[in-house]
Amino acid sequence: MDTLSIVLPAKNEEYGLGIVLPELCEKFPEAEVIVVDDGSTDRTVEICEKFGVKVISHPYSIGNGAAVKTGARHASGETLVFMDADSQHKPSDIQALLLKMDEGFDMVVGARSNSSQATFGRLVANKLYNKIASMVVGHKIKDLTSGFRAVKASKFREFLYLLPNGFSYPTTSTMAFFRNGYSVAYHPIHANQRKGKSHINPMREGLRFLLIIVKVATLYSPLKIFAPAALMNLVMGLGLYSYTFMTEGRFTNMSLLLFMGSILIFIFGLLAEQITTLMYKK
């Protein structure tokens, strides 16, 4: 059986850790539990020391993704489990992820139920993320942004250089695994409401949505996004040209702009495709 390391990125999560750590230590006494303290100013470190788990502290807050990378670098287990420290994720669900891993998967993600989503807006956004990502990779993605996952350590470390320091490491790692031909599975979970204050600013959700869509494209196959956009511009240009030619007998500047836009978008997609290939070369 593979050795296990459980990594919890934490920033001011004294309350959640007080709930999660006792259960983790009870259910997985042989596992290496690592809490990565991302510049906490509360009793996060004190709580960890109370339960005797390994603590790695950043001198200041670098980001959730940076904490995940720190944990992955220091973990000794052959299998890594990443989970939130705010008690949203249940330690009792870890065994189900590990059993799924035993079926031969390289990564198993805890797919949250609809009732687990913090708000209706977040639910709709995540559904859209999943649909677009599924279209791009050609496989059904049930939860693109879930931070609760089990993964083979050696394969996860291949993509540490790709992972951002912020909150979108789940998206990046999922798309990187699909892009490299590694197997990904999903197991349904119900996430609790978080304890304590969220570190995600709702005002940034719109920007986060746009960034995730761009990331999905650039991390897997940019042409799957840019080619349809180029085709749409071309169709609009042809339609406008047909209309103006039949009604006014001329070729308009707008038609030319749409044609040129179509060509530029397609060329940009080709360039992005080549860059993406180089990203995975090593």
Examine the fold and report which residue of 203, 232, 247 is the final residue of a domain before the chain moves on: 203
Domain limit, last residue, from 203, 232, 262: 203
* Residue whose entry in the numeric block shows the structure tokens 């991390």: 219
- Quick one: how far is CA 281 from the chain centroid? 21
d(CA 117, CA 101): 25
Encode burial over 43-82: b for 16+ CB neighbours within 10 A, e otherwise.
bbbebbeeeebbbbbbeebbbbbbbbbbbbeebebebbbb
Domain for residue 89, yes or no? yes
DSSP conformation class of 274: H
Can you give the pLDDT at residue 114? 76
Structure confidence at residue 203 (pLDDT) = 53
**Domain identity same for 273 and 176:** no
pLDDT score at 162: 86
Among candidate residues 203, 233, 252, the one where a domain is terminated: 203
Q: In the prediction, which pLDDT does 225 show?
A: 82
94 shares a domain with 34:
yes
One domain, residues 130 and 158: yes
157 and 195 share one domain: yes
Q: What is the largest CA-CA distance in the chain?
A: 81
At a CB cut-off of 8 Å and minimum separation 6, what does 183 contact? 104, 105, 106, 107, 177
Residues 167 and 62 in one domain: yes
* Residue 23 near residue 92, CB atoms below 8 Å: yes
pLDDT tens for the chain, residues 1 to 282: 689 999 999 999 999 999 999 999 999 999 999 999 999 999 999 999 999 999 999 999 999 999 999 999 999 999 999 999 999 999 999 999 999 999 999 999 999 987 665 567 777 878 888 888 888 888 889 998 899 999 999 999 999 988 888 878 898 899 889 988 999 999 999 888 755 555 455 456 566 666 777 777 777 788 888 888 899 999 999 999 898 888 888 888 888 999 999 999 999 988 888 888 777 765
Spatial separation of the C-alpha atoms in residues 148 and 170, rounded to whole Å: 9
Residue 60 shares a structural domain with residue 172: yes
> 3-state class of 196 per DSSP?
coil
> Which pLDDT value is given to residue 5?
97
DSSP character at residue 35: E
The dihedral through the CA atoms of 61, 109, 133, 206 has a sign that is negative
